Structure 1
Amino acid sequence: MLDHCNAPGLISLEKAQALLQKHITPIKETVDRALAESLGFILADSVVSPVNVPSHDNASMDGYAVRLTELASEQALPVAGESFAGKPFTGTMPEGCCVRIMTGGCIPEGADTVIMQEYARKTPKGIQFTQWPDAAGASIRPMGDDIQCGACIFKQGHKIKAQDIGLLAAMGVSTVSVFRPLKVAVFSTGDELRQPGEALRYGEIYDSNRFAIKAMLSKMNSEVIDLGCIPDDPQRIREALAQANEQADVVITSGGVSVGESDYTRDALDEMGEVTFWKIAIKPGKPFTFGKLGDSVFFGLPGNPVSALVSFQQLAAPALRVMMNMTTPPVREIQATCQTPLKKHPGRKEFQRGICEITDTGQITVSTTGGQCSGILHSMGVADCYIVLPEDNGGVHVGDSVAVQLFDELLS
C-alpha cells in the first residue's frame, strides 16, 4: 500500500495520473453488437474494409459519359442509353456515342470522362458539347476512391461515433466486436443531501454530484449502477461499498473522503480494501481518493460540486478510458490572452473556469467565469474551458498568455 496520505505535502496531478495508469487493468470481455446498436462502444478488433468504396467507377455529377478523344470536333454524339444509380448501362458504349449519366451512375465500359450537363446541348443528331477537359477522367470517382479494399479503417480501441456507423455501413459491415461496457456503481454520502423534487429543510442541500457523474458516465457508455444517497453512517457506508464491489468493476462515491468528523468513506475503504493515494495538488479537487476494493477499483470524489466534476474529468475519466480499452483522446490545450485578472496562490495546479473566444482579428482570448469557489457549480455551466495555472503561478494580469484546456466531450 502506498501511504501518500501521511506523506508531507500533496502529490502532483501528473504523479496521480501515472499511478492510476499503473494500477488500472483493462477489461477483456467482448461482445458482438449489431451495427445500429454500436454507437459509443469501443472496438475490440481493428476493422479492415472488405470492399472498395465506391465499388465501381461512377459519375460525380449529372451529365454525359463520353470518350474524350471523340470530342475533338463539335460533332453531335447520339445517346446510346442511360446509366443511373442502381441502373447501369450494360455492355460497351458504342464508338461515336455518349451515355446519359446521373450522379452515382456506373461509368459505362469504354467511357473515360463525364461532361457535366451544363456543357451539353441537345440537337436533332444527338448531344453537342460546348466545353470539355484537356485530360480524361474528369467528373469520375474511381473505384476505391474513398476506401480501398483491405485498408485498416479503425484500430482496436476506437470509440464508435455516429459518422463511423455510416462509414461501416458503407463497407457492408453489419456487426462489430466491441468490449463490453464498464460497470460503474455510484453513490453519494451525506446526511444533508436530499433528492431533486423533495422539500429542503434548514441546512439541507440537493444531491447534484451523483446526477452529474451519472451523466458523464452515460457519455462514456458505461453501465451505471445507481445506489442512491447513503447517510453518514459507517455501517451503511460499508454495506453500500460491499454491494457496489459485488456488482461493478468501478465504484465512485461523492463526499466522505475529506478530513471531517463525518467523512467515513475513506475509513471504510481502509478497512475493506486499500488506499493507493489521497489528496492531489490541484484546485479544486484536492481530497480525491483512489484505491482498491476487493474486485473493483475505487474513486472517491470530493463533495463540493465543482471539485467533483474537475477531479472526475482530470483523474477518474482517463483511468476509466484505460479500463474500457479506449484510445485516449488528446487533451485540447491552447494558449490564449487573458482578459481578466486571476488570483492564485502558488502551491497547487489550478483549473479555473473560463470562457474562450476568438476576436474579429483572430486573437484567442479567455475570461474568467467569475467566482472560482468549488461550490459555485454555475461556473461549470457557463464555462467552455479551464484556465490551467501551474503550481508555481502566483496570479495572472490582463494581457498575460495562459494555457487553456477546452472542455472535452464529457463537459461540452
Structure 2
Amino acid sequence: MTAAPQPHRAPLMSLDNALSEVLGRVTPLVRTESVATFDADHRVLSTDLVSALHVPPQDNSSMDGYAVRVADVSAKGVVLPVSQRIAAGHAAQPLQPGTCARIFTGAPMPAGADAVVMQEDTREVGGDLHAAHIDAVPAPGQWVRRAGEDVTRGAVVLPRGTRLSPASLGLAAGIGMAHLTVMARPRVALFSTGDELVMPGEVAPEAMKPGAIYNSNRFFLRTLLLRLGCEVSDLGIVPDQRDLTLAALKTAADHHDLILTSGGVSVGEEDHIKPAVQQLGSLDLWQIAMKPGKPFAYGTVRRDAGAGTDAAQPCHFIGLPGNPVSSFVTFLLLVRPFLLKLQGAPVPAWQPVMLPAHFDLPRADKRREFLRVRRNAAGGLDLFPNQSSGVLTSAVWGDGLVDNPAGHTIAHGDTVAYFPFADLLA
C-alpha cells in the first residue's frame, strides 16, 4: 500500500524579507502630545525643532582671564590697566583702547575686544586688579566662543523623528524649549499563553506542579517595551483555550496599536493564537528561517466598530515564540524596528562589528543562527556553551549576537559579524 503524499510545505521566509514585510505594513502613528522637556527622554519628536536664537547668543569667553585688543599686546610683558570686570550673566561695556577687562568663563565679550588671555598667562599688578601684566601674545579669536557657534538662529537643531536622548534634551533646553511636541506612546497589549506558566510570587518553588514554569518572558518583554517608550497594558497569562484566546485578542484590539504575545504560535493542538488571529483578522507572516526564533508571527486583528477613531484601522499583532531566548532575540531583531517606525523614528541599519571567533562551530545549521557570545580580553568572541533557545542564561552572560549565515561553520580565528546588545537595546 502506497503512503499518502505529504502536503507541500512552503519554504520559510528569510529574516531580511520578514523584516521588510513587517516594516512595509507600518504606518507611523499620527497622535501627538506636548510633554515637559524634563520628561521627554526616549520620546520621538513629531515636528522639526527650530531655534529662535543663536547659541551662544553672543561672543563669550571660554576661559577666566583678560579680554584684550590683540593690537594692544604686540609683545610679552605688556602691562594694561583693567577698565572693567565682567562676570557671566552681566553686561559688558565697550573696551577702551589700551586697556583690558577682567573676564570670567561664559561672560560676554566687550565690544572692541578680540581675544582672551587666560589668567595663567598673566600677573596682577597693583594688588587690586588695577592692571595686568600680559605674559603671552594672543592670537585673534583666542579663547573666544563665537555667537551661534553651537546653534544658529533658524536652524533645525533636531529633525522630526528624532528619538530624544539626554544630550538632545539639553540641546532643546538650550534653545529655550520647556515643552516638546512628541509622538504619542504606542499602546501595546502584552500577554502570554500557556497553562504551564505561573507568576513569581504566586507559587513558591517547592510548591510548583510538574511541568510548571515561571513566566520570565513577561518580565523582559514588558521592560523592553517600556524602554522603547511604549504604554503597556499587561493582560497577564491567557490559558490554552480557544474561547479565552479569542476574547483576549478582541478586548486588546479595540484599545491598542499592537498586541504582543509570547507562546502559542506553533502548530500544536494547544497552540490557539494562530487560528484565533486568522478568525479575527489575518495572519500575514508565520515562521522565519532563523534560529532561535522560527515560530514568529505577524498579522492584524479587526477592531470593533465602536472602538472610536481607530476602528477603521486594524490592530497590529505580533506573536513571539515561547522559548525565552527566541522571544528575546526576535524582539530585538523584529519588534524593536517595528516599534521605532510606528513612532516615526528612523530604523537604524544593522551595522555589525567584524571580530575574530575564539571558538569552533563545526556543525552548520540550515537556518540563519544568532549565537550568544561575549567579547574577551584578547579582542575576540567567546561562545556560550549551551545555545538552546530555552537557556536565558546565555543572554545574560553574553554581550551580543553573532550573525551566522545558514549552512555556515565557524573555525577558531574566523572573522564573524557581531552585534552588541548595547546597539540592539539602544
Same fold flag (TM > 0.5): yes
Alignment of 1:314 with 2:338, yes or no, is: no
Cα deviation for residue 72 of structure 1 reads 2.2
User: Per-residue displacement from partner, 1:250-279 (whole Å, max 9, x unpaired)?
Assistant: 001111001222111111111111110111
Q: Distance in 2 between matches of 1:330 and 1:408?
A: 15
Alignment of 1:330 with 2:349, yes or no, is: yes
Q: 1:54 to 1:358 in 2, by over 3 A?
A: farther
Alignment of 1:209 with 2:224, yes or no, is: no
- Counterpart of 2:393 (choices 378, 384, 392) is 378
Does the aligned pair in 2 maintain the 1:82–1:88 contact within 8 Å? no
Q: Distance in 1 between matches of 2:362 and 2:235?
A: 39
Q: TM-score, normalised by structure 2?
A: 0.91
Which amino acid is the alignment partner of residue 400 of structure 1?
Answer: D
Question: What is the total number of aligned residue pairs between the two structures?
Answer: 401
1:220 corresponds to: 228
The secondary structure found in structure 2 opposite 1:169 is helix
Q: How does 1:232-381 map to 2 (within 5 A)?
A: 232-294=240-302, 295-357=314-376, 359=378, 364-381=379-396
Q: Distance in 1 between matches of 2:242 and 2:254?
A: 18
Does the aligned pair in 1 maintain the 2:74–2:137 contact within 8 Å? no
Which amino acid is the alignment partner of residue 60 of structure 1?
Answer: S
Q: Distance in 2 between matches of 1:115 and 1:168?
A: 32
Alignment of 1:82 with 2:96, yes or no, is: no
Q: Which moved more, 1:206-215 or 1:195-204?
A: 195-204
Q: Distance in 1 between matches of 2:162 and 2:335?
A: 19
1:404 corresponds to: 418
The secondary structure found in structure 1 opposite 2:412 is coil
- Counterpart of 2:69 (choices 60, 67, 70) is 67
Q: How does 1:8-87 map to 2 (within 5 A)?
A: 8-73=10-75, 74-87=77-90
Cα deviation for residue 75 of structure 1 reads 3.7
2:181 corresponds to: 177
The secondary structure found in structure 1 opposite 2:223 is helix
Q: Distance in 2 between matches of 1:9 and 1:110?
A: 76
Does the aligned pair in 2 maintain the 1:121–1:129 contact within 8 Å? yes
Which amino acid is the alignment partner of residue 324 of structure 2?
Answer: P
- Counterpart of 1:117 (choices 99, 108, 119) is 119
Q: Distance in 1 between matches of 2:261 and 2:364?
A: 29
Q: Distance in 2 between matches of 1:137 and 1:240?
A: 67
Gaps of 5+ in 2: 1-6, 303-313
Does the aligned pair in 1 maintain the 2:50–2:158 contact within 8 Å? yes
List 4+ stretches of structure 1 deviating above 6 A: none
Does the aligned pair in 1 maintain the 2:293–2:330 contact within 8 Å? yes
The secondary structure found in structure 1 opposite 2:168 is helix
Does the aligned pair in 2 maintain the 1:332–1:406 contact within 8 Å? no
1:96 corresponds to: 98
The secondary structure found in structure 2 opposite 1:78 is strand
Q: Distance in 2 between matches of 1:323 and 1:126?
A: 63
The secondary structure found in structure 2 opposite 1:350 is strand
Gaps of 5+ in 1: none
Cα deviation for residue 107 of structure 1 reads 0.6
The percentage of aligned residue pairs carrying the same residue is: 36
Does the aligned pair in 2 maintain the 1:83–1:106 contact within 8 Å? yes
The secondary structure found in structure 1 opposite 2:373 is strand
Q: Distance in 1 between matches of 2:266 and 2:396?
A: 25
Q: How does 1:126-141 map to 2 (within 5 A)?
A: 126-133=131-138, 135-141=139-145
Q: Distance in 1 between matches of 2:79 and 2:345?
A: 59
Q: Distance in 2 between matches of 1:168 and 1:277?
A: 41
Cα deviation for residue 330 of structure 1 reads 3.2
Cα deviation for residue 357 of structure 1 reads 3.9
The secondary structure found in structure 1 opposite 2:402 is strand
The secondary structure found in structure 2 opposite 1:24 is coil
Q: Which moved more, 1:65-74 or 1:348-357?
A: 65-74
User: Per-residue displacement from partner, 1:273-324 (whole Å, max 9, x unpaired)?
Assistant: 1110111000000000111111201101000000011111111221121111
Q: Distance in 2 between matches of 1:103 and 1:114?
A: 10
Q: Distance in 2 between matches of 1:409 and 1:244?
A: 31
The secondary structure found in structure 1 opposite 2:94 is coil
CA-based RMSD: 1.6
The secondary structure found in structure 2 opposite 1:403 is strand
The secondary structure found in structure 2 opposite 1:77 is strand
User: Per-residue displacement from partner, 1:327-370 (whole Å, max 9, x unpaired)?
Assistant: 112323111100011254342110010112463xxxx4111122
